Structures are given as structure tokens and as C-alpha cells.
Structure 1
Amino acid sequence: MKNLKYIIGILLLALISFSCEEENYELGDIVAPSNIEVSYTIQGQDTSDPELEYGDGTGYVDFVVTADNAISYKINYGDGTSEVVPTGEVTKRYSLPDANTYTVIVTAIGVTGTSSTMSLDITVYSSFSDVEVVEFLAGDNAGDSKTWYWAANQAAHIGLGPVEDDYGNGEFAWPAWWNAIGPWDEEKYCMYTNEFVFTRLDEDGTMTFEQSVGPAFVPGTYAAKIGIDGDVCHDETVVTSMFGVKNVSFAPSSSKAALEGSYNDEPYRGTEFTIADDGFMGWYVGASSYDIISVTDEELIVRIIENGNDYTWYQVFTSTKPVEGVIDADYEFETLVWSDEFDTDGAPNPDNWTYDLGDGGWGNGESQTYTSDADNVIVDGGYLKITAKSDGNGGYTSARLKSQGLQSFGYARVEVSAKLPSAQGTWPAIWMLGDSFSTVGWPHCGEMDIMEQTGADKDRVLGTVHWFDDGTNANASYGESTDITNASSEFHLYTIEYTESAIKIYLDDVQYYELTNNSSLPFNDPFFIILNIAMGGTLGGTIDSGFTEDTMEIDYVRVYQ
């Protein structure tokens, strides 16, 4: 056995020796890029004309970079921005006002990561200026800083829209096309600690940006592209460009939305800002340029196109730090223009109310027959009482009051103090339809549900808006819900405010719903009020087999403008 092992060992050694002799690997020479050449053309430049010596004011410069043994190039433009340009050809727009000289640094990158660098000075004239944006974002004077926060106390502080198509409404889907999130959204809660600091460095408007408090939220749409968990927050070990002081540059907006679109019938600001070194404002989608939709001292609304041009995100920031968990309820309506206090016993005031009568399911598979009988609707002891009853034969009666043709209101705040029924299967509703209902029908007339409650869950109420979307040629709706306690034993205040800019719904003066209004939606004309209890149907669900009767009591209905 020893001899056999020895022979095998000799054969193995011979094979190894043979392999070493046959394979002769050599690492090629590492060659850094060389002979870097940079040419550029300033748009509109005419050196013989003093007014065009440094360009026509648009700030556009076409760069062409070549080098031996280079596979890509990185260009630092000298204004605080840089980018990787694989082809070596790129158009840059400088936007610092007046004629300014920039030191452009070009790095040619080789196959193995080796690089060579050259620099040149270039003077470019830009006539673009929007110093007011700098004043809004940072302050009036050199050295001023301002901190911005997510407008978490507002509904629709984050929303999704299309990149190019405005879906026929001219507003690039802000926000009728997408269902924006509500205030203090649970999934996004991790990002509401973010703080974003803009600092003005000089009187010319040079500015820096710093996200001083993390983390970064990465939506699922982008997370899937880069292979990380989505719709969650990540720290700087994952999103490495989150922190650090970064330069901010401004330029005229060039997106289709900014050039052609509008927001609440007003054109976009027309200015975009870019945060250098892959900076971003808390919401990481691989992009750093923001279209400014509108900006004031207190509010910044922007639009950012996700890397890959698949999605556009709308974002709202505020310079006043929201109080955690508190929803903004900024009332603007002070004049009481109409009310019914239900002070006179008997039938409801015929100057204010009429009735929908009959059965047929009412489009929702409901089980009740509406009447105007005193058994179903009466004013008693200072309250309007709408009572749903079993007829003892498997059927039900109830009442549906409406102010149609009697009282309707344009932009207004409507308040209803009510105590709700508690029985399973009852579907109470306080809602409004547009005056055009009789001519264009539902949902073209628009519907605003101030309060609905399902037949199964008496600890929540719903606020919803319905309309017809001409762009998709389909019914559209956006709804939110909120918890409520003692809904059937105590009076609560149900409120809606609707203006040309927004529809807001409140429970006990706390806002939990907002939809941005615009001229393409039907909520800019007068609406009338409806009060009813349905039985069963879409939201009522299964009716308690032992049901006999239940009541919704209303203390008052008030309208402010």
C-alpha cells in the first residue's frame, strides 16, 4: 500500500507540474486614459457682439469629451453639480444670473477604474433669475437658514401622478388621478421626523441644502429597481447620499407639466431646483431635481420625476413643524348664511326640506321604503329625528330629507351635529349632491359624503367624494375613514369645507380628509344637503334579524360662507 500511495503521489505531482507549465497567465498593462480633449459650444455665443459674448442668456452649453482608453466620463460643472456621462456628450444649463466663470473638471475613467483629470474655465451668461424662491426657501439675507418639514398634518402631502399625460384635465393629475395619503399616514410615519435646512450663502442667492434628520423613505416603485425593501424607511447605510451639506442650483423648469400644466388653475412656478451630489428631500427615488409647483414662506409644493421616468411624485412641505398626530383644521368661514336649528316641533320646515320617496334599492341594493310619515321623520324637542322601522313583514321604512330646489350652497362650510343609530344593518348618511343632478345625473353632478357609517362597524365613520373622471371615462372616488367613540349615545360634529382649492372633511373639528379641487371637477357649483338612514345595501350589509327600529337625531345643520 505504501508503494501505491507513492506512485499516486508522483502522478499527481506530475499533473500539477504539467498544468503549471501549460497555463501561463499574464496581467495586461494597466493603462490610464490619456489625451483628454474637451470642446464646448455656448448657445447663442457671438464674440463679435458684446451682448452675446457669453451666450444668449439661456445658459445652455454643449460639451463633447473624448480620451484614449476611456469608457466613461464624470463632469463637475463648477456650479456645485456633476454627473457621469458615458458617451462624453451632454448639454448643461447654467442658471446663475449674469456672466459667471465656472471651473469645469473632467475625469476620464478607464476599464480598471483608473482615471485622468483635466480642467478648464468657461464663462457663461444666464438671464434666468428667481431670487424670490431663495427668499422663500432660506431667507432674505446672506447667512439666513430655514428648516422645512413634511406637511404631515395635511391630507395629500404625498401623491402619485403620470410623467407626461395629463389625462385630459390639464393639471397633470394633481390630485384627481391618484388617491393621495391622509394626514400622519401610518406607513410613512417613520419619515415625519425629517428636517430639511436651506441656507442662503450670499446676496446673489447661492444656497445649500442639508437633510439634518433622517431617515429616507423609499417607495416600492423605486425600491424594486434597486433591489431593496420598499415602502419602508432606510438609514444612511442603504441610502448613502442622504446626509451632508449640498449645493443647490436653480434653472427654468423644462418638464411638460411645468410648461403646459397648471395647479388649481394657476401655472407652475416655472423654476426647478437641483440638489447636488444625489441629494433629495426625504423621499428617495434616485432623482434630485424638483419642479416647484408653488412656494410661499410657509408652504412648498414640488413635483419630482422618479429615476426611469415611470412615475411622478407630488410632495408638500411646511416651514412650521406640525404637531405630531394633530391634523390641520384651518377654518376660513365666519358668516352663518343659513341654518336649521329644528326648534319647532312637527314636520320639518318645508322651506328647507323636501323628500325622496319610494323603494327600488336606490342603486345600492337597499331594503327600505322612504316615506314622509311622522313615524319616520319628525322634529321633536329641538331635534330632527329620522327613524328606520321594521314593518313586521320583512320590510323596512325610513326617511330621506333633501334641500334640493330649496337651499343649496356654493363654496361653504357645512356643519351637522348628529347622534347616529346603533343597530346592525343601519346605514346613516349626511351628504350632498350638486344642483346639476337633475340634468346631468350621478356621478357627473358630484357627490360629497360628509358622514357615512356602515351597518357592521359603528366605531368608524367615512368621508368620501365621488365624481366622473372624463380622462378615464369612468366613475372616480376618494375616501378616508376615522375612528369614533359613542357615536350613538353622544352628539358629534360632522363638517365639510369645500372651496375652489380643496375639499376637507372633519370629525369634531379634527380634519381627516382632503382632496384638492380644480376646475375640471364638479365641486365648484352649488350643492344641496341630504339626510337619511338606509337599511342594508352596499354599506348597510346584513340587517339584524331582531331589528325593530333605530333613530338618527340631528341637533342642527349650519352653513357658513
Structure 2
Amino acid sequence: MKKLSKIIGLIAVLAFFGSCEKDDPTIGDIIAPTNIVVTTEIVGQDADNPFGDGTGIINFSARANNALSYKFVTPGGQQMSASGNAAITFTNVGINSYQVAVVAIGTGGVTSSVTVDVEVLVTYEPPADLLEKLVGDGSKTWRIKSEKKGHFGLGPVDGNVPVEYFGVQPEEKAGSGMYTDRYIFDRDGTFTHITDSTNDDPTYNPEGTVFGRENLINELGGVGGGTQQEADVLNYPLNDYTENWGLIAPGGVETLTLTGKGFIGYYVGGNHQYRIFDRSVSNELLITTNDGNGEFSWWFIITSQEPGEGEVDEPFSSVYNDLVWEDTFDVDGAPDPDKWTYDLGTGDNGWGNNEKQSYTNNPDNVKIEDGILKITAKAENGSYTSSRIKTDGIYSFTYGRVEVRAKLPSGGGTWPAIWMLGQNYQTDIWPASGEIDVMEHVGNNQNTILSALHFPGNYGGNAVTQSTTLPTASTEFHNYSVEWTPEFIKFLVDDKVFHTFANDVSTPFNADFFLILNVAMGGNLGGAIDPNFTASTLEIDYVKVYQ
């Protein structure tokens, strides 16, 4: 019966598209498109795989005389395309046949159409935990997590660094028509977009507004309107609607696909596919999609909790659980020379960052006392001393989990760091060697913990960074850690992930790195030093490496 209803619906659609319209003198001659030519390419199709590689993706290309745009109508929905090119994803597992109506649209909306029969293989079955996260008990509702930094932003096409070009601050896009949207993924494959979640009480009201990219947003087929703000269109009128959703995994990458005009957050056209970049955070998804202009990759953080609802974080699960190296600083005195060595002096130019301290190995600056390593920065007669210890040439490793339990110094100008440097730094000069900053903190921004990655193209002030808030950084011990794998690098505070970076063979983060602990003063990041500063200490309970 479902198949029959879809066929009847398709016939009705085609009958409508084949109807004629009278000329409208305000738009000139109305000419129906002619000579529609459609080509199809099943992704991964070859002699051994006649129905494709199992992703279910078919690339369509349509051309017609006098056509202004095109529409592709499938049993699951429809997709607009100004260029005539469309990548359509089918999600029913197995080899299935479909009839696709390709509609050429001319002046005044007059149309011509043809139908195309396609047959494609789908082998991907989504993991149960991802389905449960999206759907829940059938009543789970998602929204843009507007209270979180970087919940919306952009970067290069197919980029792997979230909001690499630009990310918004919390609530920055309030009033745009995005934050009141809600999204529901039903178990039957229906995607419901509520375009205004605030106007349904006491009675249902389908009216709402959305947020999107200029020109592209007109693909939604709303009544027009909205407010143009540079390349954005705010509060574009659009009623609630339903489409279909599915999960695919092209190239092994979990991807959420929406049919027709279905979208999340900010309308950018394109193929309506959202790569699931990170789903490790409870009640959250970090997703990204390329726009229809081929200009940017757009990033979104969505959550299934309403503002103010208490969140229960899923405990972080590491893939590395064998302890391979540690220092618990149990013996008072100097750091163990079998594990640590020193950087000494001022460096060639303030250690490359215009830092003001001179590093020493004096007990006043570095010692173990009562089971705690203490690195102390001190003001001494108008200058500053501190210490930097490292495992350079003693211990280095590739991949693993580093965990450091520490209490941070305070005071304007202090700059403590827990970090790692590529062991090949003497031959592959920084940034080619790579740098992983597990934790950085500056006293001039007391409650903020930073992570950073430095490598060619992204280093110094252009490093890949992220931050999280920690009000007790200098009054309590906390766990600072990094999970480093061939596929990703995740930064955590107290076992909560706040920064994820997609690692691959193109980065330097696939070779041996060594550990560094230090407290700098001033410099490019540390900033102005408080004239009343006397001394402050980085205290470390332990350093552990798991593989």
C-alpha cells in the first residue's frame, strides 16, 4: 500500500508539473523547457559493483533548453537545484529500484518533466547507539546549542577543523530565526522541522521563520521576505514541514542525510548531508555540511536538551588503558634525572614568544615537595625566573593518552603550560615538528583553559585552538589530558572533552613527541605582567601516559 500511495502521489505531481500556464506580461514570454537530458552516475559503480559501492548515492545531471532551475522528485522527497546537478542519497538497505521525476522549470514557473528509473545498492546499517542518540524513545527534540561557543560557524570546504574561519559566541545569532527551530528524527524516517517552537501554546501554529544564505534560501519555496544582512537572510518566513532522514557512511564517515528542503540551523542548500564529526558528548552532535555554492563548510552543534536542563555527561571512554610511563613525584628534591631534563636561560628571543623569564634548575624554581612537583615563577630585582622541564631525548612516544593532575598558578602575566613537541624538532624545525598544547592558562584570563595545535599552516597566532571555563583552576587540582590517535586528538578537563581535532596522515601528529612542563612570564600569550607580582606556583601531582 505504501508503494502504491507513492506511485499515485508521483503521478499527481507529474500531472501538476505538466500543466500549462497563461503568459504573464510582467515576466516576458513564458516558454516551457524542452529537450530535457538527464545523466546519472551511481557512486562506486564498476564492473564488479553494478549497483554502486553501497553508499546509496546517485549523482544526477539535468540539462534542458529554456530551463531556469530543476527539481528532482523521489519517493522520499524532492530536491531543488539551480545548476541541474544533484547528489541524491537512497537509504533502504539492499538493491532497490526507484523512479525519479526530473522537472525543468522555466519562466513563470512553467515546467516540463521526464522520469528516470534507477537501481542502487545500500549496505550501511547505522549503529544502534547512534540511532538511539538521535531518536531516543521517539519524542527526542533537537536544537542549536546557542549557549555554547562555536555552535555555528564556517571553514573551508570539507575542512576538519570546526569553525576554522569563524565561530559565533554564545547567543550571538539571537533574533535571526535559528534558535527557536526544533528538529525531530522519528523512527519511521520522518524528519520534522518546527520553525518556531514558541508559538504552539495553547494551540498549534505552523508559522515560523528560519535563517539562511542569500539566494540559496529561496530554494525553500517560502513566501519570500526576511531581512538581508550582508550575505545572511534573517527571519525568512517558513511554515513547519516534514521530510525524510537517514544515515549513511560514505567513505566510512557517519553522515546524516535529509531529503528535499530538510536542513538544520542555517540553510545553505547543497546536498543536505551533514557529516557527524563528533558524537562523544552526551546529548550533543557536532555536524558539518558544504554549501550549495561550493564556498564553505558550515558547522553546527546541536543538542537534545532544552536551555537550563541539567546535563548528565557520558563518562569519557579512552581507547588507551595500559599505563606505560609515569612520574608521581614521590621523592622530595630535584626531578628524577632519569625522566626529566631542563631548558635553561632566556632562549634566543624570549623562547620565541617574547617571554620575560629566565629558566633555571634552582630549587627556588623547581622542586618536589610532599609528593608534589612545584614549578615556581618568581620576580627577582626587576626580572623573572622560572623552570621548564622536559623528557626530550629521554622518553617520547607516538599516540596515547596523557593525563596530568595539576593546580595552576595565578597572577597577571603567568603562563603555565603542559605540552608536547615533536621529537624531530631539531631536523624538522617548528612548526614542521608539530606541537600539542594539552593545557595552557594565562593569569590575565583567569578562568579559561586553552588547548592548541601548531603545525604548518596553523601555528603561532593562527594555531588551532579551543577553550573551556574552569573557575577553580588555581585553587583546586584538576585532570588535564589529551587522547591522541591516528584519527583524532581530543582535549579534556576532568575527563570532559572540550576540543576535538581530526588527525590524518597530512599532519605531523603521527610521530614521536616528548613532554614539557613550564611556567612562562609575559610574552605573546601571557601578556602584561602585574607590577605587584611576586611568585606563583604550578603544582603537579602526577604525569601519566597510557597506550
TM-score computed with the length of structure 1 as normaliser? 0.67
Q: Is the 8 A contact 1:191 1:233 kept in 2?
A: no
Residues 489/194 of structure 1: CA separation in 2 closer, same or farther (3 Å cut): same
Identical residues among aligned pairs (%)? 33
Alignment check: 8 A CA contact 2:421 2:435 kept: yes
Contact 1:415 1:493 (8 Å CA) reproduced: yes
Is 2:265–2:300's contact at 8 Å kept on the other side of the alignment?
no
1:283 aligns to 2:266 (yes or no): yes
Per the TM alignment, residue 367 of structure 1 is displaced from its structure 2 partner at its CA by 1.8
Quickly say closer, same or farther: Cα 1:466–1:460, change in 2 above 3 A: same
2:373 maps to 384
Task: Give, as a single letter, the amino acid of the residue that structure 1 aligns with 2:510.
Answer: N
Alpha-carbon offset, residue 516 of structure 1: 1.9
Inter-partner Cα distance in structure 1 for 2:391 and 2:359: 16
Residue deviations 1:92-133 (CA, integer Å, cap 9, x gap):
7887655555677777654xx7x6x7777x462423435636
Q: Paired residue for 2:444?
A: 456
CA distance in 1 between partners of 2:505 and 2:524 (Å): 31
Q: Secondary structure at the match of 1:346?
A: coil
* Cα pair 1:75 1:84 within 8 Å, conserved: yes
Paired amino acid for 2:477: F
Q: Distance in 2 between matches of 1:433 and 1:80?
A: 51
State the Cα deviation string for residues 200-236 of structure 1 (Å, max 9, x = none).
4xxxxxx54322575777367889998535899966x
Match status 1:334 vs 2:321: yes
Work out whether residues 424 and 456 of structure 1, in 8 Å CA contact, stay in contact via their aligned partners in 2: yes
Q: Distance in 2 between matches of 1:528 and 1:36?
A: 69
Rounded to whole Å, the distance in 1 between the matches of 2:338 and 2:311 is 42
| Structure 2 residue 419 is the aligned partner of structure 1 residue 431 | yes
State how far apart, in whole Å, the 2-side matches of 1:505 and 1:398 are: 26
Letter in 2 for 1:513: H
Equivalent-residue separation in structure 2 for 1:138 and 1:494 (angstroms): 31
C-alpha contact 1:217 1:232 (8 A) present in aligned 2 = no
Counterpart CA distance in 2 for 1:32 and 1:355 is: 80
Report the residue type matching 2:435 in the other structure.
E
Deviates more, 1:373-382 or 1:185-194: 185-194
Query: Does structure 2 conserve the Cα–Cα contact (< 8 Å) formed by 1:404 and 1:528?
Result: yes
Structure 1 SS opposite 2:228: coil
CA distance in 2: counterparts of 1:364 and 1:214, whole angstroms = 49
Report the Cα distance in structure 1 between the residues aligned to 2:51 and 2:36, rounded to whole angstroms: 15
> Match of 1:538, SS?
helix
Structure 2 counterpart of 1:491: 477
The 1-side partners of 2:84 and 2:186 are apart by: 29
Residue type at the aligned position of 1:549:
A
CA–CA distance in 1 between the matches of 2:502 and 2:116? 44
Correspondent of 2:193 among 199, 202, 211:
211
Structure 2 CA distance for aligned equivalents of residues 436 and 103 of structure 1: 58
Q: Does 1:559 align with 2:545?
A: yes
Alpha-carbon separation, structure 2, partners of 1:273 and 1:219? 18
State the AA in 1 paired with 2:524. T
- The match for 1:127 is 120
- Judged with a 3 Å threshold, the aligned counterparts in structure 2 of structure 1 residues 558 and 230 are, in CA distance, closer, same or farther, namely farther
**Which residue does 2:346 correspond to in 1?**
359
Partner of residue 417, structure 1? 405
Aligned to 2:336: 349
Task: Give unpaired runs (5+ residues) of structure 2.
Answer: 1-22, 41-49, 198-208, 219-225
Q: More displaced, 455-464 or 326-335?
A: 326-335
Q: Is the 8 A contact 1:494 1:507 kept in 2?
A: yes
Residue number among 492, 496, 510 corresponding to 1:506 in the alignment: 492
Q: TM-score, normalised by structure 2?
A: 0.69
Deviations 1:259-287 (A, max 9, x none): xxxxxxx6667x995522x2213332244
Q: Look at both structures and tell me which one has the larger radius of gyration over its CA atoms.
A: 1
| 8 Å CA contact 2:432, 2:456 repeated in 1 | yes
RMSD: 5.0
Change (3 A) 1:31 1:407: closer
Counterpart for residue 44 of structure 2: none
TM-aligned CA deviation for residue 175 of structure 1: 2.3
Q: Is the 8 A contact 2:154 2:167 kept in 1?
A: no
Deviations, residues 36-77 of structure 1 (Å, cap 9, x unaligned): 686556769xxxxxxxxxx999978876767xxx98687564
In structure 2, what is the Cα distance between the partners aligned to 1:453 and 1:31?
62
- CA deviations on 1:282-318 (whole Å, 9 max, x unpaired) are 3322445327578999998865332333223255778
3-state SS in 1 of match to 2:463: strand
Helix, strand or coil at the partner of 2:529: coil
Judge conservation of contact 2:334–2:366 (CA < 8 Å) in 1.
yes
CA–CA separation in structure 2 for the residues paired with 1:146 and 1:555: 45
Determine whether 1:444 maps to 2:432: yes
Aligned residues of 1:293 and 1:302 also touching (Cα < 8 A) = yes
Mark the CA change 1:79 to 1:525 in structure 2 (over 3 Å): closer, same or farther: same
**3-state SS of 2:437 partner:** strand
Distance 1:107 1:229 in 2: 29
CA distance in 2, matches of 1:559, 1:28: 74
Given that residues 196 and 281 in structure 1 are in contact (C-alpha distance below 8 angstroms), is that contact kept between their aligned partners in structure 2?
no
- More off after superposition, 431-440 vs 311-320: 311-320
Whole-angstrom distance in 2 between the partners of 1:422 and 1:489: 9
In the other structure, the counterpart of 1:310 is 295
Letter in 1 for 2:373: L
CA separation of 1:546 and 1:192: change in aligned 2, threshold 3 A: same
Q: Quick one: which amino acid aligns to residue 119 of structure 2? A: S
CA drift of 1:377 comes to 1.2
Cα deviation, residue 548, structure 1: 3.2
Cα distance, 1:234–1:329 mapped onto 2, change above 3 Å: farther
Alpha-carbon distance between aligned partners in 1 of 2:24 and 2:329, rounded to the nearest angstrom:
94
Match of 2:241 in 1: 244
| Partners of 1:423 and 1:280 in 2: CA distance | 47
Letter in 1 for 2:389: L
